[in-house]
Structure 1
């Protein structure tokens, strides 16, 4: 069943209203008619089965039929800090990371970053990324849309690291020894915990410098490799995210 994330001001006690792109999607793409049902979530824990009562291209009104459980989020809140990649790779990272279960995304600037960051385009880019995250969260039947913060400098990112229970700094040099650079060891203290806030830091196409790795260590990060192979920048975050979710019990078991 089609799902929509609705701003809290459009989500009432007994009714829901879809506006803008959501209303257009419901009426034109999904061919919704009065009497059809959809699921609405306010992204804050409220979720309901809604029956459409009036449908137009710019507004869909609906009546809440049943309150639903909204417990589909991972136990661990895992944020991906991604050095800005070239092209549309960030869109892929946000889309697939949202599907897998990322809690938030922090784009940041690093020394070997290939793309030329343009602050003038920041607002439009953030709007585009937010839309991608919303659509991916709806498709994956998530209970919330991941946060995407404005791009940070390297210094700003270092200052954020103390806010997390675990920071994994993904560094290919740590994986060359073939041991995975201590990823298992880094996760060991978190076993059986349900309230972990973790940050996964991924470098650009050109990788991190030795100085950046040392900076991260000093800021409290655990520098790890992700195996013997060199991963693309758009792949590394998914691997680390999945490993963390597995460790949290997200994939089943204890």
Structure 2
């Protein structure tokens, strides 16, 4: 069953109104017909199972059959902070991270980031990333679309890390705790995972420098390992995210 996100004012107890590109997609790509069932969400606190009642150009009205709170959102809220990778790898991180259950993505620039950051292209690229997050959220039947923020400088990211209940940075040279061990300790200290905010920081293709590792620890971030194998930058975030959600009981754990 196809799912679409609409502004809160377009989802009432009686009907859901889908407009713009989503209406075009539903009518012309999915070839919806009156009587078809769809899912609609306001991206926040409500979602509905609805039946298509009216199809017009760039506007579809569906009758709400059942309205209820979102059921697919994890109780633990994980943000992936990803050092800007080469090519279209950031798109992969956002798409797959959204499917798995991340609630927010924060790109950042670190010492070994090889991507030439161009502020002039920022708006267009951010719009594309947000669109990818929205489409992935619809495909995965998420209850909300994850936030995708504009890239931060390393120092800015470390300042923002203090807002999380627990912040971990993946460091291949870390000889200490595995992510599972550090996460269990953080959960025990907090007394549970409900509403817990976790920041998972992933470095660039060349990894973090020793100076960045020291700065991260000074900012309260915990260095962790994801295993004995060296992962690609676009893989590390997905593995870390899945581990966090599994440990929190969100993936059958």
TM-score using structure 2 length: 0.94
How far apart are residue 58 of structure 1 and its match? 1.2
CA displacement, residues 53-77 of structure 1 (integer Å, 9 cap, x when unaligned): 2213411112212213422111110
Separation in 2 of the partners of 1:75 and 1:37?
28
* 1:188 equivalenced with 2:188 (yes/no): no
Separation in 2 of the partners of 1:37 and 1:4?
12
How far apart are residue 252 of structure 1 and its match? 2.6
SS in 1 for 2:4: strand
Q: Greater CA deviation, 29-38 or 101-110?
A: 29-38
CA displacement, residues 21-73 of structure 1 (integer Å, 9 cap, x when unaligned): 10111001111122222110001111111122221341111221221342211
Separation in 1 of the partners of 2:164 and 2:120?
30
Gaps of 5+ in 1: none
Separation in 2 of the partners of 1:49 and 1:187?
36
Separation in 2 of the partners of 1:59 and 1:16?
10
Aligned length: 249
* 2:178 and 2:226 in contact (8 A); partners too: no
How far apart are residue 14 of structure 1 and its match? 1.6
* Residue in structure 2 matched with residue 7 of structure 1 by the alignment: 7
Separation in 2 of the partners of 1:79 and 1:225?
18
CA displacement, residues 145-165 of structure 1 (integer Å, 9 cap, x when unaligned): 111111111111010111111
TM-score using structure 1 length: 0.94
Runs of 4+ in 1 over 6 A off after TM superposition: none
Separation in 2 of the partners of 1:113 and 1:88?
14
Separation in 1 of the partners of 2:102 and 2:66?
28
Q: CA RMSD in A?
A: 1.4
* 1:147 equivalenced with 2:147 (yes/no): yes
* Residue in structure 2 matched with residue 173 of structure 1 by the alignment: 173
* 2:164 and 2:199 in contact (8 A); partners too: yes
SS in 1 for 2:206: coil
* Residue in structure 1 matched with residue 89 of structure 2 by the alignment: 89
* 1:127 equivalenced with 2:123 (yes/no): no
